[in-house]
Amino acid sequence: MLTRLQEEYGDRGLKIVAINVEPRLSLERWRTYWTGLGGGEVIWAQDAQYAATTAFNVQRLGTEIIINAQGRVVAKGADLGYERLQRRLDEALQVG
C-alpha cells in the first residue's frame, strides 16, 4: 500500500520514511524485511533510542503518520487504510 502511494504521490512531494524501532535489528535486516513484505524504496531510519516514537506518541508498530509541508501532523494511526491515507495525502499535499 505504501509503495502504491509513493508511486502515486511521489511527484507531489510525498516522502515515506520507514523507521526501525528494534535496536537489535540492523537497518539492512529491516530493509530486507520491508521489501519482503512488498515495500518499495523509501527513506530508511533507525530509532534505537525511541526519539521518534516518543515525539509522535507511537503506541504500536505499523503506525502511519502524515506530516504536511508545514510540519503539522495531519493524520496518525495504525492500519488507516488506503482510501483514508489517500484523502489525507490529498489534503496535506495541496499547494496553498
pLDDT tens per residue across span 19-50: 888 888 888 888 888 888 777 778 888 888 89
The parent domain of residue 33 ranges over: 2-91
Q: Which of 65, 5, 91 is nearest to 40 (CA)?
A: 5
pTM: 0.76
Identify whether 74 is part of a domain: yes
Identify whether 96 is part of a domain: no
Q: What is the pLDDT of residue 43?
A: 87
Tell how strand 43-46 and strand 63-67 pair up: unpaired
Can you give the CATH number for the domain in which 84 is found? Answer: 3.40.30.10
Identify whether 26 is part of a domain: yes
Identify whether 32 is part of a domain: yes
Q: What is the pLDDT of residue 10?
A: 87
Identify whether 49 is part of a domain: yes
- Each residue's pLDDT tens digit, 56-69: 999 888 888 888 88
What's the structural domain count of the chain?
A: 1
